[in-house]
Amino acid sequence: MIREIVVISGKGGTGKTSIAAAFASLMENGVLCDADVDAANLHLLLKPKVLESHPFMGGGIAEIRNEDCVACGVCLEVCKFDAISEDYHVDPIGCEGCGVCVDMCPQEAIDFPTQQCGEWFHSETRFGPMIHAGLGIAEENSGKLVSLVRQQGRDLAEAEGRNLLLTDGPPGVGCPVIAAVGGASALVIVVEPTVSGLHDMQRVAQLGQHFGVPGLVAVNKFDLNVEMTEKIEAWAVEQSLGLVGRIPFDSSFVKAMVAAENIIEFAPESDAAKAVREIWKKVMASKALNNMGIADLR
């Protein structure tokens, strides 16, 4: 059975990607997925060599053929998104892609071409294969692209006999996060010990509970506010979330990023790297990932 660990945080910038990249060093026989398709960063540390790239097609966008338009006003009236101007041009950013104007136009003067709204890639990294993607600027359908990335990751794992997916998730609790969380084996929730870190982690943990996915909490930069770290851990325990460890604040994370390495490669003997290794062990031994409690289960 293929298991999947999704690294999320709620709040952005807590260290999700730096920690996911470090996990990549420790993972055995897995596939990496970057599900933050909106602002993907994992490739900056893992420098993947792209083997295949594929277009990602979204829905249609309305386009009025002005030579056939008789300015009857029907499209203006039916568009709920105010995406059509008084002189009958569709604002592609405002258009929701519902196609109602297309169907209601008495002149059949509105086209509905399918848009390419991104790309996805099958790549090779020094830690194993990786599926990643880029969504076009100002595009919709990020949730669909996230689902596609995870499915491709799963298919690849199956085809190559790999048993683990390690997915770097997006921030927030909305559309792409919902698409990243459903069906995962466990969430590693990376939290920073701040009022906003706690607030945002509570919301994303609720989302995990909503979808029935177990959550494991790791506090990053814990020493910035130990009292807050304790508060976060107490809340996590109360909610039956697992605690997998604390990582100290270490500017080596930034230096490693500049060097395009992860913390395990850049500063293997640092306290931060040791903490990440301990966390990975606890994640792999957690009930969420193997209900028999055998850490080395293959």
Partner 1 sequence: MIISIASGKGGTGKTTVAANLALSLQDSGLVKDFNMLDCDVEEPNLHLFLDPGEVTETEITTFVPVIDQEKCTGCRKCVDICRFSALTFVRDTVLVFPALCHSCGGCQLVCEFGAIGDDSRKIGVVESGMVNGHAIHSGRIRIGEAMSPPLIKAVRRHEKEAALTLIDAPPGTSCPVIAAMRGADFVLLVTEPTPFGLHDLQLAVEAVKVLDIPAGLVINRADLGDSTVQEYAESEGLEILMQIPFDRSFAEAYSRGESIVNVSPEWREKFQGLYTRIAEIVEAKA
Q: Which tokens sit at 121?
A: 């890639």
Residue 137 binds to partner 1 (criterion: CB under 8 A): yes
Binding-residue pattern over the window 80 to 119 for partner 1, x denoting contact by CB under 8 A: xx-----------x--xxxxx--xx---------------
How far is the CA of 251 from the CAs of 8, 142, 171, 255, in angstroms?
A: 21, 32, 22, 7
Q: What is the DSSP letter of 224?
A: G
Distance of CA 153 to the CA centre of its chain: 13
* Nearest CB to partner 1, comparing residues 18 and 152: 18
The answer to whether residues 82 and 94 touch, using CB atoms and an 8 Å cutoff, is yes
Q: Which residue has the tokens 């008084």?
A: 86
Residue ranges in 168-262 assigned as alpha helix (H): 175-181, 195-210, 226-238, 252-258
Closest CA to 269 of 246, 244, 250: 250
Residue 11 binds to partner 1 (criterion: CB under 8 A): yes
**What's the chain's length in residues?**
298
- Site residues (CB under 8 A) for partner 1, limited to 147-186: 170-178
Of 201-209, 238-246, 266-274, 275-283: span binding partner 1 (CB under 8 A)? 201-209
First vs last Cα of the chain: how many Å apart?
9
* Nearest CB to partner 1, comparing residues 2 and 59: 59
Of 12-20, 24-32, 48-56, 276-284: span binding partner 1 (CB under 8 A)? 12-20
Of 154-162, 253-261, 273-281, 282-290: span binding partner 1 (CB under 8 A)? 253-261
Q: What is the DSSP letter of 14?
A: S
Choose which of 107, 163, 194, 290 interacts with partner 1 (CB under 8 A): 194
Q: How far apart are CA 240 and CA 173, in angstroms?
A: 20
The answer to whether residues 38 and 180 touch, using CB atoms and an 8 Å cutoff, is no
Least separation, in Å, of the C-beta of 33 and partner 1?
18
Choose which of 206, 287, 293, 297 interacts with partner 1 (CB under 8 A): 206
Residues of this chain that interact with partner 1 (CB under 8 A) are 10-14, 17, 38-39, 41, 44, 59-60, 78, 80-81, 93, 96-100, 103-104, 135, 137-140, 142-143, 170-178, 192-197, 199-200, 203, 206-207, 210, 224-225, 228, 251, 254, 257-258, 260
